[in-house]
Amino acid sequence: MPATTDPAREGAVPGADPRAVGAWLAAELDDPRWVRCRLTPIGAGRSNLTYRVDSDAGAVVLRRPPVGQVAATAHDMGRERRVISALAGTAVPVPAVLASSDGGAPVDAPCFVMQLVEGVVPVDLELPGGWAPQERDRERAGEALVDVLAALHAVDPAAVGLADFGRPDGFMERQVRRWVTQWEQAQSVGIDIAPDTVAELTRLAGALAVDVPAAQRATIVHGDYRIDNCLFDATDAGRILAVLDWELSTLGDPMADLGLLLVYWRQSDEHPVWKAAHAVPGPTAQPGFPTRARVAELYAHRTGLDLGPLHWYVAFGAFKLAVVLAGILARVKAGMVPATMAAGLEGSAQPLVALGHHVLSEGLE
């Protein structure tokens, strides 16, 4: 995209100044055309911040942590950069990492720049115009999601230099404790959550802690795998071009990824408890997408894992997502991020907590 003298090109966007970014990119990529660039925020900015950077030299994507005080382990740019770099050349599609900084220039925080991959991210309830127009296209998109997740869980961490990327022993026990701690931190700023929801979330955490399944396998886990963290081919819905947003990735129990994916998953014939818990929009209730049961069946077929304890992992996913959304509300309450980031999230914790209890007691129906 050609550079211009547009004044907006010279102005900063939240979390990054194009003048600093341009100078840094010109040096890192050895191309002075990056000096004059324009930054455009991508996404809602509720987790790590993402920008498209355009100049006469081309276009790339910049990732940095949220502005303000955040949990370092949840927004570790070095870890995200490392796992993307390690997965290059595997069956898991990822963008190429082009440059990185441990802090200071260009955004006064750790960051990295990666290849811009053009494609479709299905974010909303309605499908993007012209993408996956037929039911078979949507079925293939759902199958591709499972295929890529299974491919990720088949990667040998040691073979790609990630043997020390996490501590898989006791992973789920630590995850329960970690998200209890995150919940306590969110509460400490006085977020507006009803007392009965607070009590039920605490009870759900306790129920999860006393019945943690034994991990069947230790793999690389994404930590937030869902349809809108994948970028699809615009003309082939059955092809994923890149998996994005690796900020929660580590080594651990692969069933945690499947459990959370099913919490996000919508389908047309929903139990009221499931329907109420959809805090994050997504298109998978459209005709053609597989049901949650079919997603689980496909995953089991591709991985050989026993789905007997899947209800626990789904309940944990509901608990984790409730805490993540409460954390966003807490950052808004504390003035760390704009109030717009809380849009649509008010009251989102209670239905997720109810889903967690429902799944533990009634199963996945």
- Tokens standing for 103? 């802090």
How large is the average pLDDT for residues 210-214? 96
- Tokens standing for 5? 């003298």
Summarised one tens digit per residue, pLDDT across range 293-325 is 999 999 999 999 999 999 999 999 999 999 999
Examine the pLDDT at 155 and tell me if it is beyond 80.
yes
3-state secondary structure of 38: strand
pLDDT band, very low/low/confident/very high, at 5 (cuts 50, 70, 90): very low
The answer to whether the CB of 172 falls within 8 A of the CB of 267 is no
How large is the average pLDDT for residues 86-108? 96
Mean pLDDT of the chain: 91
Examine the pLDDT at 11 and tell me if it is beyond 80.
no
Alpha carbons within 13 A on the beta-carbon side of 12: 8
The answer to whether the CB of 82 falls within 8 A of the CB of 165 is yes
Examine the pLDDT at 99 and tell me if it is beyond 70.
yes
pLDDT of residue 12: 64
Examine the pLDDT at 185 and tell me if it is beyond 70.
yes
Examine the pLDDT at 24 and tell me if it is beyond 80.
yes
State the angle between helix axes of 171-187 and 310-333 in degrees (0 to 180), rounded to the nearest 10. Answer: 30
Summarised one tens digit per residue, pLDDT across range 37-56 is 999 998 765 678 899 999 99
How large is the average pLDDT for residues 138-148? 98
pLDDT of residue 66: 81
> Which comes out higher in pLDDT, residue 81 or 343?
81
Q: What is the pTM of this model?
A: 0.92
224 forms bridges with which residues in the sheet? none
The answer to whether the CB of 357 falls within 8 A of the CB of 277 is no
Which domains, ranges and CATH numbers included, belong to the chain?
Answer: 7-115 (3.30.200.20), 135-362 (3.90.1200.10)
* Least confident residue range of 3-7, 195-199, 253-257: 3-7
Examine the pLDDT at 192 and tell me if it is beyond 70.
yes
Summarised one tens digit per residue, pLDDT across range 111-131 is 999 999 999 999 988 888 889
185 burial type by CB count under 10 A (0-12 exposed, 13-18 middle, 19+ buried): middle
Summarised one tens digit per residue, pLDDT across range 254-265 is 999 999 999 999
pLDDT band, very low/low/confident/very high, at 1 (cuts 50, 70, 90): very low
Examine the pLDDT at 98 and tell me if it is beyond 50.
yes
* Count of beta carbons in the 10 Å neighbourhood of residue 92: 23
Examine the pLDDT at 6 and tell me if it is beyond 70.
no
pLDDT of residue 44: 65
pLDDT of residue 45: 57
Examine the pLDDT at 73 and tell me if it is beyond 80.
no
pLDDT band, very low/low/confident/very high, at 188 (cuts 50, 70, 90): confident
How large is the average pLDDT for residues 89-102? 97
> Which comes out higher in pLDDT, residue 93 or 2?
93
| CA 174 to each of CA 167, 169, 204, 205, 266: distance values in angstroms, whole numbers, following the listed order | 10, 9, 15, 12, 28
- Tokens standing for 31? 């191309």
pLDDT of residue 335: 75
pLDDT of residue 4: 38
The answer to whether the CB of 117 falls within 8 A of the CB of 264 is no
Examine the pLDDT at 9 and tell me if it is beyond 60.
no
pLDDT of residue 166: 96
